Structure 1
Amino acid sequence: MPDKPADYYYEWHTEGKTKTPYAIHSPNNEVLAFAGLYTWWPDKALPQDHQDYWTLTATILTRAAVGEVSQLHDRTPVTLPPSFWDEWLDAGQDGDQSLVDAAVAAATPVAEALEFYQVGPLTGNGPELVHPTGS
């Protein structure tokens, strides 16, 4: 089991109709934490006291890929350094575009340092998912 927000994330590099999976990680297996957003929204077609009236939705923010991972895909998650976690998670923070811009800027050194290697077909959900091809 991972002992941090994320050890890896996956990206598929596509050439023609061939999709090849890669595990992307930080050097020395340092922590990866992704900037995300969530919101609750009401389903106005339902009565307010209905159990499904409120729905939670969430997303991970992405940015233009930089560094070596840009060989795989043109986008990558916004990977926040630990020094930015408190600011991102501060409930009193204005969640506006300037905060998103600051998160992307803080994430740039992390994104530029990401490394990757090819993995086998992604089946199952165990630790074998991060084994390099041929291991």
Structure 2
Amino acid sequence: MTEGKTKTPHAIHLPGNELMGFAGLYTWWPDKTLPEDHADYWTLTATILTREAVGNVRQLHERTPVTLPPSFWDEWLDPDEEGDQSLVDAAVAAATPVAEALEFYPVDPLRGDGPELVDPAS
């Protein structure tokens, strides 16, 4: 949430702190300015797919990651699956009930890199 220019960080989770899986994509890009045998010739890039926010998280932002239910993980990760728009559409549809169930609470600004990051704001 943002009030004026001040942003309030939030911890977002599923009820019961269930494990969340996001729909992501990756690809390798060649740097054609380098020789093919150069150690930096290939660069790995990755992204998390987003969708219009639904449910309570709309209060925080208009977009949210595509949060896949465990029942869709195998299909999304199947290396033999054709990665086309119909798969993305199916992932977004499968993610809707998960996205609607997300819960959140405010946390303090960054103050470390451990589990204290999700302690409720003081």
Instruction: Tell me the TM-score normalised to structure 2 length.
Output: 0.97
Cα displacement string for residues 28-67 of structure 1 (whole angstroms, at most 9, x for unaligned residues): 1111011100000100111111111111000111111000
Sequence identity, in percent?
Answer: 80
> Which stretches of structure 1, 4 residues or more, deviate above 3 A after TM superposition?
none
* Among candidates 20, 27, 34, match of residue 32 of structure 1: 20
Count of matched residue pairs: 122
Please give the secondary structure, in 2, of the residue aligned with 1:73: coil
Please give the secondary structure, in 2, of the residue aligned with 1:125: coil
Query: Are 1:54 and 2:37 an aligned pair?
Result: no
Query: Are 1:82 and 2:70 an aligned pair?
Result: yes
Query: Are 1:123 and 2:111 an aligned pair?
Result: yes
What amino acid is aligned across from residue 73 of structure 1 in structure 2? H
Determine the C-alpha separation between the residues in 1 that align with 2:102 and 2:64. Answer: 10
What value does the CA root-mean-square deviation take over the aligned residues? 0.7
What amino acid is aligned across from residue 19 of structure 2 in structure 1? V
* Among candidates 16, 25, 40, match of residue 4 of structure 2: 16
What amino acid is aligned across from residue 107 of structure 2 in structure 1? V
Instruction: Tell me the TM-score normalised to structure 1 length.
Output: 0.88
Determine the C-alpha separation between the residues in 1 that align with 2:43 and 2:9. Answer: 32
In structure 2, stretches of 5+ residues that fail to align are none
Q: Offset at 1:15?
A: 2.1
Determine the C-alpha separation between the residues in 1 that align with 2:62 and 2:111. Answer: 25
What amino acid is aligned across from residue 106 of structure 1 in structure 2? A
